[in-house]
Each structure stands twice: as C-alpha cells, then as structure tokens.
Amino acid sequence: MARIVAVCSSEKKGTRKTRIPEGILQEDYGLTDDAHADCTTHRQVSLLANESINRMRDLGFDVGPGDFAENLTTEGMDLSSLPVGARLCVGEEAVLELTQIGKECHTGCAIAKQTGNCVMPKEGVFARVIRGGSVHSGDPIRRIDSD
C-alpha cells in the first residue's frame, strides 16, 4: 500500500521544507501555512516519491523528505507515471487532482545548488486540492476514479 512518508512546509519559496507532524490541505488552496499554497495556481501541492530521494542518496547526497521542496513525500506509488487529471485520496478525506508532471527547475534552487542535480523537474508532481482534509506521515495514498 502506498503511503505518505512525510508532510513538509516552508515559510518561503525557493527553500527546503521542514517536516511537520500534521498538515491541513485546504480546498482550492494547498497546504495551510505553506509558502506555495495559492488559490490562483494549479500547483497548490507538490509531491515527490521517497524512491526518488533514495536515488539521490545512493549517489552520495545527504537529502531527505522536504529537501526538494515537496509538500508530501510518498512511498509505494510511481507518481511520475500518473497522468495529469488523476485523482489521489490522501488520508481519510483529502482529494488531490494531478495538474502537472515535473517542472522547470528555477534558478537558485537550494537542492540544485548543493548537488548539481534535482529530481523534482522530472519526477515531482503537482496537484490542486479538490477536497480538503488533514494529512499525517503514515497516511495511505491511493488513486481514485475522478467521478
């Protein structure tokens, strides 16, 4: 079963995120109190698989959940293979809709500066919050029908 490994937040854009014990996904906004939350964007929440982070660790980099500025670190689901429009149920009630696979890495990305490489542009995904709810480390994440 796929699950959430970490919930991460930051006060500023362009920085690594810090693990938090609980996050509130707010409908059509994002993760409450996170710098990237915004009702005007399709990139309200970012997700990255722990498997991607582990590949960077295998290359000798000291990285972990939140270091790629992702809000939700997952495990057991190949996020980058999902199509735009796929819906994910996170925890008991939250529903996310994938809006973008990968991204152009912005100049000054903290992780790219440290490592010279970043997995977020190819393996990170972005979503908007369809239905809000709380999310914790260990919560299940599963794909659902969009109906």
Q: What is the pLDDT of residues 78-112, one digit of tens each?
A: 998 999 999 999 999 999 999 998 765 555 555 55
Query: So what's the pLDDT on residue 56?
Result: 84
Distance, CA of 27 to CA of 7 (rounded, Å):
17
The helix/strand count (H/E) of the chain reads as 3, 11
- Is the pLDDT confidence value at 3 over 80? yes
- Is the pLDDT confidence value at 120 over 60? no
The topology under which CATH files domain 3-144 is M1 Pyruvate Kinase; Domain 3 (2.40.33)
The residue ranges of DSSP E strands in the chain, in sequence order, are: 3-9, 18-20, 22-26, 30-31, 45-49, 72-75, 87-90, 94-101, 125-131, 133-136, 141-144
Could you tell me the pLDDT band of residue 8, with boundaries at 50, 70 and 90?
A: very high
The structure's pTM equals 0.88
**Which residue from 32, 27, 28, 29 is spatially nearest to 7, judged by alpha carbons?**
32
Task: Provide the 8-state DSSP code for 77.
Answer: S
Hey, what are 41's tokens?
Answer: 């964007």
How much of the chain exceeds pLDDT 70, in percent?
85
Query: So what's the pLDDT on residue 127?
Result: 96
Query: So what's the pLDDT on residue 102?
Result: 73
- Is the pLDDT confidence value at 39 over 60? yes
**For the chain, which residues make up each domain, given as ranges?**
3-144
Query: So what's the pLDDT on residue 103?
Result: 62
Mean pLDDT of the chain, nearest integer: 88
